[in-house]
Chain A
Amino acid sequence: MTAREREYRVDYLARVEGEGALYIKLMGREVVDVKFRIFEPPRLFEALLVGRMYYDVPDITARICGICPIAYQMSSIHAFEKLFRVAIDPAVRSLRRLYYSGEWIESHMLHAFLLHAPDFLGYDDAVKMAKKHPEVVKNALKLKKLGNDIVALLGGREIHPVAACVGGFYRVPSKRVLAGMKERLVEGLEIAGRLLEWVADLDFPDFEQDYEFVALRHPDEYPMNEGRIVSNKGLDIAVEQYEDYFAEEQMPHSNALHSYIIGRGAYMVGPLSRINLNYDKLHDRTKEVLRAIGFKVPCRNPFKSIIARVAETHYAVEESLRIIDEYVEPPSPRVEPQVRAGRAHGCTEAPRGILYHRYDVDDEGRILSAKIVPPTAQNQKRIEEDLKALAPEIMRLPRSQAIWRFEQAVRNYDPCISCSVHFLKLEIEEE
């Protein structure tokens, strides 16, 4: 290495889901190489699905990710229901939003407070942070538990819940059981408001980029299960058109497949994209708190994604309250689908961003081909571009702080490496 060359390496990135590493090389002030490496072993889900029956797909794909299993269940279920022309009861539709809200709450609280917040305050982890900020960590855990309990109430357990299926749910809760959650949700909303104020006061690096934000958009609601895929740069397509507008490429330096928008390049998915594109669909109380803390859209600072995550948690608690209040038990928890051959597309808003599924199915419901594009695969190119843009500034910091700041920039995206790896290239670097 010459005097002008500098390398930053993190061999095993902590506080992310799965196994990843960072490599950044500078020549003078110029960034010559940035790699967000993924060395999580491949599990080959798309290949495992071929030959399976459609009804097994939600439970199999759930095992791609222990943090967001509902997202995998929902994207596949919606894909098949559309192909099989299943019309679900409005109450079942609402319960799916409640189910998804539970997952957003637990996933966002896990990331925002146990994985991401310690970066802003210089703690190795949330347990150490809890010594100085016990109320914050306790409240975040309380809210996380509330999210998990919503999932477990509907699905039997918090990780890989069992109730959702193509056509509806195996079992739905009674009005009385749901109403039992109300008191905790009211308290949860208040806690979420305080946590939102707390994260707004964190110290944010001054960093903005001209992102293309991509998220679902629905005419009537903040997007979860349905909508068109839109961006702040004019994209507005149906889910079925995804593969006409998005593609994956292999980078010469990294062997990693990166998603990009054809003709344009990197884009961002996740809470910051969703809130920038759907602010108008948030409920009133969430908007009130956001106004009070001075959060404005569009927000182009990725470090502030933690605010978006807590704001969405606030929204999800508010939405859960609405659903529980309006709930009327459906006449039947599910309808039996009429299986037919064809191509099924599904895209829903996982906690980390849009999750696209596509399947070809034969006339008995057997899977002929599968394609799954998780949010982290879509953000990967954008993460590397952020690291590139941040590097000249960060390299002024002492080495250990510089490395920490690079890690934090990756954690802005809440990368879920288990999700992305059935799809991303494993890089083996020889040195």
Chain B
Amino acid sequence: MARRPRIAVYKFASCDGCQLSILDLEDELLTITENFEIAYFLEASRAVVKGPYDIGLVEGSITTPHEAELIKEIRKNCKVLITIGACATAGGIQALRNWGRSAEFMKYVYPKPEYIEILDKSTPVSDHVPVDFELRGCPINKYQLLEVMSAYLAGRAPNIPNQSVCNECKLKGNVCIMVAKGIPCLGPVTHAGCGAICPAYGRGCYGCYGPRESPNSRPLMKRFIELGKPQEEAVMAFRLFNAWAPGFREVKAED
């Protein structure tokens, strides 16, 4: 049997949810370990197999000088580098501090902020090193991760559709909550992948898969105001887990 591809899983600033998705593949977990060598995955194992690795899965955003160095080392050590989730791909919820002054945010949380070195901004991995594939979502869809891993084994490109959440609503047969009920929804500008969960639950999409290609966010923000949202809150709708992603980042209050 050929050598199993070696996988390493790394964590930067994040909630752990995306790497947890691997352990949440309960039915597939033991099959995955038969096909891949999980060589570095500290959340799951004390044992560490030295690199280089065939695949590096990276969760989390880059927020400290140490992390900015570390990601360069990791890039050198992984043939294919895949970011998993909104933090690694767009900077995450912690990128909200990018609009303010990090020093003041630090003072708010820590009595002695001078002990902790952080970068001024929380940024995606692709701002620091070349990334081979980005998997969206807060959290990622674990079956999309499985698809990426299967595609690697088969030597083909992963089948991750680049559509909007609206397409997923249509496929599911959801009635459009924005048209029918006037509920503000980020579906039209948001990348597909979740399966349109929120609209199916009667709430507006909150954009956790980040902007789709050419999202045209500004008119949607204005539509939210027409539907009764104060401007401040209409802008805030874009400032969640993918706030720093180009396509959402530019949305701002207007006169």
Contact = CB atoms under 8 A, between A and B. Distances in A.
Interface of A: 12-19, 40-48, 50, 52-53, 56, 59-60, 63-67, 69, 106, 110, 114-115, 124-128, 130, 138, 141-142, 144-145, 148, 156-160, 162-163, 165, 170-171, 250, 255, 257, 404, 407, 418, 422-423, 425-428
Interface stretch (B21-29, B154-162, B216-224): B21-29
B200 interface: yes
Give the one of A14, A52, A171, A427 with max B CB within 10 A: A14
Nearest to A148: B24
A324 B107 CA distance: 47
A19 B11 contact: yes
Given A418-B14, A428-B117, A66 B139 contact: yes
A125 B138 CA distance: 27
Interface stretch (B74-82, B123-131, B233-241, B245-253): B233-241
Give the one of A65, A125, A159, A407 with max B CB within 10 A: A159
A215 B111 CA distance: 27
Range for the number of chain B residues in contact with chain A: 35 or more
Nearest to B12: A41
A16 B43 contact: yes
Contacts of A160: 17, 138-139, 208
A171 B202 CA distance: 7
Contact of A41 (B67, B100, B203): B67
B201 to A, nearest CB: 4
Interface of B: 11-18, 20-21, 23-24, 26-27, 29-30, 33, 38, 42-47, 60, 63-64, 67, 92-94, 96-97, 100, 102, 104-106, 108-112, 115-118, 122, 138-139, 194, 197-198, 200-203, 206, 208, 233, 236, 240-241
Contacts of A56: 236, 240
A145 B28 CA distance: 11
Nearest to B141: A157
Contacts of A159: 17, 20-21, 24, 139
B15 A63 contact: yes
Contact of A162 (B60, B118, B197): B197
A128 B14 CA distance: 27
Given A63-B138, A114-B23, A160-B208, 16 more contacts: A15-B42, A42-B63, A44-B105, A45-B109, A60-B93, A66-B15, A110-B23, A114-B44, A125-B45, A144-B24, A144-B26, A156-B197, A159-B20, A162-B206, A250-B111, A404-B46
Given A63-B138, A66-B139, A255-B115, A41 B24 contact: no
Nearest to B20: A66
B235 to A, nearest CB: 11
Contacts of A428: 115-117
Contacts of B13: 40-43
A157 B42 CA distance: 25
B39 to A, nearest CB: 12
Complex A-B, nearest 6 residue pairs according to Cβ-Cβ distance, in ascending order? A66-B17, A125-B45, A156-B197, A124-B47, A47-B105, A47-B108
B33 A127 contact: yes
Nearest to B59: A66
A316 B46 CA distance: 30
A252 to B, nearest CB: 12
A48 B93 contact: yes
A125 B43 CA distance: 10
A97 to B, nearest CB: 19
Given A14-B42, A428-B115, A63 B241 contact: yes
A53 B232 CA distance: 10
17 contacts: A14-B45, A18-B11, A41-B67, A43-B93, A56-B240, A60-B240, A66-B139, A67-B17, A67-B20, A114-B23, A125-B44, A138-B30, A148-B24, A160-B17, A160-B138, A160-B208, A404-B46
Nearest to B17: A66
Nearest to B110: A425
B42 to A, nearest CB: 5
A360 to B, nearest CB: 13
Given A48-B96, A156-B198, A250-B112, A66 B18 contact: yes
Contact of A422 (B46, B96, B109): B109
A156 B172 CA distance: 14
